[in-house]
Amino acid sequence: MHTASPPPEALPPLGVLDPNIVSSPRLERKLVRTTGQQPIGSRRRRAALQNSKNIPFEQLPYQCFQEARKLLLADREEKLKQIEEERRRIAKVKAVTATQYGGEYVKKGRIVRMQKHLEKLKILADINDPVIKKRFEDGEGTGDMNRPIYRYLADQEWRKQKRLILMQRINQMHIVPDVLPSLDPTAEVKLAFGRRNVQPGDFVDSTISESPPRLDVQVFDKGERLISIVVLDPDVPNLETDGFDSRCHFFAVNVPISPDSTYVTLSGLLEGTQVLRPWLPPHAQKGSPYHRLAVLIYEQKDGTEVKAGLREKISSTVKGDFRLNRFTRNLQDQPIGVHLFRTIWDDGMAGVMQRAGIEGANIELKRQKPEKLPYKKKDGARYR
C-alpha cells in the first residue's frame, strides 16, 4: 500500500502581504514599504498562485511535464559522467611533467582549455533544469553564486538589458574616449548613496554625494580576486589653458571580492593599506557644465597586492591634475566594471565645499563672449 502524502501547505489569505501572491500595484508598494521585500516572480504568476493548490513545482501532476523531466534527468546524468571524465583527464595532465608535455607554457595552456571545457559542462548539466530556472526567476538562486549555472544565468540577464543601458550611457556621455580609449565591462557594478540607488548617468545632489557611496560589484567567473577602485572627474575647468583637467575623488587598492561577496563600502576600507585617496565630495563651481564622475573597477594582475612602495607613490601624486594611465600599470589594461553619475551646482554645493575645505564656492564661471567680426558697410550703389 502507498502511504498518503501530507496535504500541501495552504497559502496565506489574500489580505496578507506575502511576496508570493501579492498581485495588485497597491499591495506591492505596501509590501516594499512595510517589509522591504520585493514581490517574487511576475504579477501573472502571483495572481495564479492565489487560487491554486500549493503543490511543489517538481511534483506538478502533468504527464507531459513529468516525462520531459525524465529526459532532462537522463541528460544530466550523462553530463555528470562527462564532468567526472574531464576531471580525471585534467588530473592526468597535471601529473605529467612540463618537459614530457612539451614545455610549461604548452602544459598550462592545455590545462586552461580543459578547465574552461569543464566549466561549460557544469553549465550544460543544469541549464535545462526547470527547478533551477524557477529558483533563479524567483530570486532564490542569486544567493548561490558559487554555482556556475547561477553565475551564467545572472550574466546573461545582465547582458540582455542592463549592460546595454550602461554602454549607451557611456557612449552618450563620451566616457569613451574622454576617460578610456575603449571599454568592455564584464562585471556588473551598482552604486548607492545611503538609500538612494543611482542609475548610470543620474544627477546626484551634492548633499547626498557628500558621504562615500557603497558598491555592489558582481563578477560572473569563479574565484576571489583583488580589485582597485578609482573615482575620476574628467570635467575640471582649467582657466589658464581654457580646457579641462581630471581630478581623482577616490582611490583604493587591494579590495577583495568574489562572486558571493560583492558589497564594498568605501567608508569601511582601511586607510593606508587600501585607501590611497580618501573620498573627496563631488563638486562643481557655479556656471560650469555638469561634471561626470566615472567609477572604474580594475582587477589587479594575477591577484597580487599593490606593494607599499607603489601605494606611497600613488598617495603622493593623486592630488592635482590626475592622469589615469600613470597608475594603472600594475592593474589590468581595461577596467572590468564601470559606473557613472553626474553632479552640477545646486543649493547645497556651497555648504559641501565649505565643509570639505574646497575653495572656489564664491566664484561664478561665465562663458567668454566671442568677439564680433568688424562690421563693414557695403556699397549701396550695387543694390540700386
pLDDT along the chain (384 residues), means of 10: 45 66 87 84 79 70 82 93 95 88 87 94 92 82 82 95 96 93 94 94 96 96 92 92 91 93 94 92 93 95 83 78 72 83 95 93 85 72 63
Q: What is the pLDDT of residue 8?
A: 46
The SS3 of residue 244 is strand
CA distance 369 to 329: 42
Grid cell, residue 109, equals 595552456
**In this structure, are residues 254 and 274 in contact, taking their beta carbons and an 8 Å threshold?**
yes
- Burial class from Cβ neighbours inside 10 Å (0-12, 13-18, 19+) for residue 271 reads exposed
Model pTM greater than 0.85? Answer: no
CA distance 56 to 3: 18
CA distance 272 to 316: 12
Q: What is the pLDDT of residue 330?
A: 57
Q: What is the pLDDT of residue 97?
A: 87
Q: What is the pLDDT of residue 239?
A: 86
DSSP states of 331-377 = B-SS-SEEEEEEE---TTHHHHHHHTT-S-TT-B--PPPPPPPPP-P
Residue matched to cell numbers 564584464: 186
Instruction: Examine residue 177 and say whether the peptide bond preceding it is cis (omega within 30 degrees of 0).
Output: yes
Q: Give 12's Cβ-side CA count (13 Å radius).
A: 9
CA distance 230 to 157: 26
- Please give the single-letter amino acid code of residue 189: V
CA distance 256 to 251: 15
Q: What is the pLDDT of residues 134-151, one digit of tens each?
A: 888 877 766 688 899 999
Q: What does residue 65 show for φ and ψ, rounded to 5 degrees?
A: -65, -45
Strand duo 263-265 + 337-343: pairing: unpaired
For CA atoms 321, 327, 329, 335, give the dihedral sign. negative
